[in-house]
């Protein structure tokens, strides 16, 4: 948790769209709109750790910021999803599209000399997340495609958080599976990874008896186990969002969905 306090000294804030690798000193004011988990690695140069965040400013411009080793350990606990920060002394380079899907030509690196200060009780305008929901029974054409999808559904089941060892780097990552259903009488498993598993997953485990709705943006569709959805670092999850789609699902579930039988699009399993 940050113990930083807001300074009263006026500062010039640069929009993210104005930054480039050749620019000198700058300060930005941004919100953390996605936070990845800490990864540990071993390569020819030794051992290290790394994590990334996605940052959004009040012009709705986004950028990915990555921290390695000392900087990763220094800033991992400081950065919290949904909070606003002043950041300065970062470095920009061309975005590596193999690891970065943020819509920006550049990506940012923060080191141990970078300055990160929480912006406490200060307004920053971030527009509502825009969803383009795909009904659960129409997910199959997206299997193994690069296109990410958005879904909305009623939570019917939540697993306990488990630890999964990845084959790619032998790292242990938290994972939580939730099952959601919609008014087309279909259900699907959504795997939450990393901070979403320990955060949102734990929250849903405590409240799923109340049948909350979830709107989820940016999911990958795979054919593992038939068909499943998985979160990535940029996934956004809203619980009981204030939207027409959510209210429609709640009304339907309260009147008939709670006693219905649902067919899973990923297997022969059914939920009632």
Q: Residue 167 contacts by C-beta under 8 Å, 6 or more apart in sequence? A: none
Report whether 200 contacts 192 (CB < 8 A): yes
Enumerate the domain spans of the chain. Answer: 16-118, 136-266
Same topology, domains 16-118 and 136-266? Answer is yes
16-118 is classed in which CATH architecture? Beta Barrel (2.40)
- What does CATH list as the number for 136-266? 2.40.50.140
pLDDT tens column, 44-77: 888 999 999 989 998 888 899 999 999 999 999 9
pLDDT tens column, 145-181: 888 999 999 999 999 999 888 776 677 889 999 999 9
Mean pLDDT over the full length of the chain:
87
Lowest mean pLDDT among 8-17, 26-35, 137-146, 192-201: 8-17
């Amino acid at each position: 948790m940050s113990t930083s306090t807001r300074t009263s000294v006026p500062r010039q804030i640069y929009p993210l769209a104005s930054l480039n690798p050749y620019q000198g000193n700058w300060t930005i004011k941004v919100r953390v709109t996605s936070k990845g988990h800490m990864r540990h690695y071993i390569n020819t140069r030794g051992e290290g750790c790394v994590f990334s965040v996605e940052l959004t400013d009040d012009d709705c411009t986004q950028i990915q910021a990555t921290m390695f080793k000392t900087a990763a350990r220094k800033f991992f606990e400081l950065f919290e999803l949904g909070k606003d920060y002043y950041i300065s002394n970062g470095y920009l380079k061309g975005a590596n599209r193999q690891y970065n899907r943020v819509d920006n030509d550049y990506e940012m690196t923060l080191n141990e000399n970078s300055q990160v200060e929480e912006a406490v009780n200060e307004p920053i305008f971030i527009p509502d997340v825009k969803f383009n929901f795909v009904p659960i029974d129409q997910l199959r054409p997206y299997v193994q495609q690069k296109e990410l999808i958005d879904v909305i559904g009623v939570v019917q089941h939540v697993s306990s958080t488990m630890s999964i060892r990845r084959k790619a780097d032998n790292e242990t990552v938290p994972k939580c599976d939730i099952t959601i259903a919609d008014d087309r009488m279909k259900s699907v498993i959504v795997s939450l990874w990393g901070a979403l598993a320990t955060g949102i997953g734990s929250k849903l485990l405590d409240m799923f008896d109340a049948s909350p709705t979830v709107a989820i943006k940016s999911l990958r569709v795979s054919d593992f186990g038939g068909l499943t959805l998985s979160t990535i670092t940029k996934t956004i999850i809203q619980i009981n969002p204030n939207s027409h789609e959510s209210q429609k699902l709640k009304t339907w579930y309260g009147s008939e969905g709670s006693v219905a039988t649902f067919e899973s699009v990923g297997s022969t399993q059914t939920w009632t």
